[in-house]
Amino acid sequence: MRSHGFPGSSTACETRPVRVLVAMSGGVDSSVAAALLVESHGADHVVGATLKLWGGDADSGCCSVADVDDARRVADQLDIVHHVFNFSADFDAHVVEPYVAGHVEGRTPNPCIECNRHLKFDRLLDRAAELGFDAVATGHHARTVRDDDGTWRLLRGADPAKDQSYVLSMLGQDQLSRTIFPVGSMTKTDVRVTAARLGLRTAAKPDSQDVCFIRSDAGRAGFLGDRVPLHPGRLVDHDSGADLGEVAAVELVTVGQRRGMGHGTDGRRRFVTAVDVPARRVTIGPPEASYASVLALHTVAWVDGAPGALSGGVLAALAQCSAHGVSVACNVRTADEGLVVTFAAPQRRVAPGQTVALYDSGRPDSVVGSGVVR
């Protein structure tokens, strides 16, 4: 096995790209990623690029004016060229519009994953190739390795608390062969120490936590309410079908939610088990009703093609159902142009539209693929 050719790799000289385009979001991770590449490749071989994705107001995430300014100033500190690419039309078409449509249809899309799928590891890679770059680098906490047979693998980041392999689980061989994750082998503490050592202005900048196109003062309700009608709905008991009251906006409710769902006569919290927007109905039940053993996936992506075990059989894997969730044992089989995942033990229901990342049961740090919950 040999690594991607990155500072600290024994094969860095053999495999390092000649020219690298670094996606700079204005955060500390991408700032340090750029700095490390300048140290290893030289400033003449590294160029920074910030993506202008959201054309509306933003006060969080990676789309605010302040973030773009931070990225530009870090590039100046590193003495590298910095570009801003306007991908806002693609962002609207592939991320924002599906996000809104999903809630109208009772789904809960993951906009960060769709941004990675369509923008950062599709549109940006294409732009980099057009401009003559050999690779794109990002500040994601993930790692790549290349096996002796030339196959690229996607691994979890070295810092378990910051691992972002889940949101990259749709990447395949073409993307991985042209992508570098310079901070993937570092802990977050190491990243900040490095940024401070280099005097980068983002060294102490907090991590972004929110969806970049939703303002913190408006929230999801304000964002969706400005774009689509929101309708009240009825709360229905999971077991008896009894009417339990009203919910203010059925489009804002997601499977697995417990906030605002109240308690049953037994005093226990109630969880959402199903959302039917056209019927204006939200089904809720006790904690045990919020678990399921099976889920179906579509929009399936594999790191290196479908594993051979799936050819008429069952693949033993580990499933992670959220960005920082715990991976759990499961069996995977093909069905209806997608996959069916059966958990070894019942798990909290996963909302339709969310992504499930699959990891190798024998190599738990290695991503196999992913799919979106039906």
- Pick the catalytic residue: 62, 63, 115, 330? 115
Are 278 and 229 a contacting pair, CB within 8 Å?
no
DSSP-derived secondary structure for 284-336: EE-GGGGEEEEEEEEEEEESSSS-GGGSSS-EEEEEE-STTPPPEEEEEEEET
- Pick the catalytic residue: 62, 63, 112, 212? 212
CA–CA separation, 116 and 103 (whole Å): 20
CA–CA separation, 46 and 31 (whole Å): 12
212 is catalytic: yes
Q: Is 70 exposed, middle or buried (0-12, 13-18, 19+ CB in 10 A)?
A: buried
63 is catalytic: no
Place of tokens 């993506």: 51
Neighbouring residues of 5: CB distance < 8 A, sequence distance ≥ 6:
11, 12, 13, 14, 15, 16, 17, 180
Active site residues: 115, 212
